[in-house]
Structure 1
């Protein structure tokens, strides 16, 4: 659980990679139907398929199908879907790992929480977290930002890890386009200014 861009999907991918099993991501547009009982039927088909092999079954935006059943604003169909989901999870073999991600953990049904053996919160990145990420990315890609990672982390105060990666890729891309004589420090400075202006515009 945590805000957008905090690494929830990346964590699911890392778990599947470390276990050397497929990552199967649930697409809600193919799961949720408009007719009575249609969603539960599709869910049964989904879980029947994933039981046959070791895998990581990943539900992003999990609150879309696991909302609190006590919510008086929800329809009876949604409540039946949640009940069906819980039964399906209980019947999964041990070689299937369910990873669920949400930006709104307060919306999840309490019974869903009891099925989750490990709960993790991925908050907004701290300054030290951003510095560590930038240093690792720079080392892995062989890209020198021309400025210290501390300076970049301090100037990009309110970005997520996903936005931090977007910034780093942008610096790398601009340096390639400018050729061998590119001034990487000037590129980084210019992009930092653009990102800070964008952040100021978003805050307003």
Structure 2
């Protein structure tokens, strides 16, 4: 499925005369082939790309780019690392496993497996869900895409689905981390009698797009209201992590980074007091 998506994106980019999309899609294909140790094929793809002279069609204008899926995301540079976050032990281990699976994806594929790439985070606000998603992007060295709901959700019938399609078509062209914050706003329970038929169609289309995402796109969704999510949403995510509010014991036993290495928060507080006295 991942390879077929890339080939479709490659054809679309060539037909539209979109050099940037053609290059990013070809680079993703090259990375996929090298991960499978098909280095000769990867080299041929790179040579073919260098020899291609893409000429945009006469009717192609800058307005066509304004309607691309790139308009519905913010690309941020990830700076936070997993080691800087105060996380529950299951969440910290889950993050480390996710990074390791993608770092060693070639080993998994050699045995017929794909790394997990759909993660659902739930818990009260302010407990590190967004920072966790950013840290995963930093750990994998991938672009961090944050979905803009103001540009995604339309007021006309079918408009949101059309923008969702463009969004997913865009992210398929390159390895990345795609982050949906406040996921309950778009993944609501379809059985809710207070919701319109349009949101139900959006949820159904969203679930289909999630199923078709290649494994080199890591999609992370976060919600503060897990009870509002559609039941089918939960089944789409291979990893589900809970972010409870930290208690006093966990805060006191947590570690933070210092110039001399990790130290406990209590040690950090004691050193701060001693330095202020001096």
Paired with 1:118 and 1:44, the residues of 2 have a C-alpha distance of 24
Shift >4 Å, 4+ stretches: none
Paired with 2:130 and 2:147, the residues of 1 have a C-alpha distance of 12
Q: How does 1:1-16 map to 2 (within 5 A)?
A: 1-16=122-137
Equivalent position of 1:34 in the other structure: 155
Equivalent position of 1:179 in the other structure: none
Paired with 1:80 and 1:184, the residues of 2 have a C-alpha distance of 59
Equivalent position of 2:224 in the other structure: 103
Paired with 1:53 and 1:87, the residues of 2 have a C-alpha distance of 19
In angstroms, what is the RMSD of aligned CA positions? 2.6
Q: How does 1:166-181 map to 2 (within 5 A)?
A: none
TM-score (norm 1): 0.67
Query: May I ask how many residue pairs the two structures share in their alignment?
Result: 151
Paired with 1:33 and 1:54, the residues of 2 have a C-alpha distance of 27
Gaps of at least 5 residues in structure 2 are: 1-121
Equivalent position of 2:266 in the other structure: 149
2:199 aligned with 1:72: no
Paired with 2:194 and 2:276, the residues of 1 have a C-alpha distance of 54
Structure 1 residue 131: Cα displacement: 2.6
Structure 1 residue 94: Cα displacement: 1.1
2:253 aligned with 1:136: no
Alignment counterpart, residue 47 of structure 1, candidates 163, 168, 177: 168
2:259 aligned with 1:125: no
Structure 1 residue 141: Cα displacement: 10
Which is richer in strand? 2
TM-score (norm 2): 0.50
Alignment counterpart, residue 208 of structure 2, candidates 62, 87, 93: 87
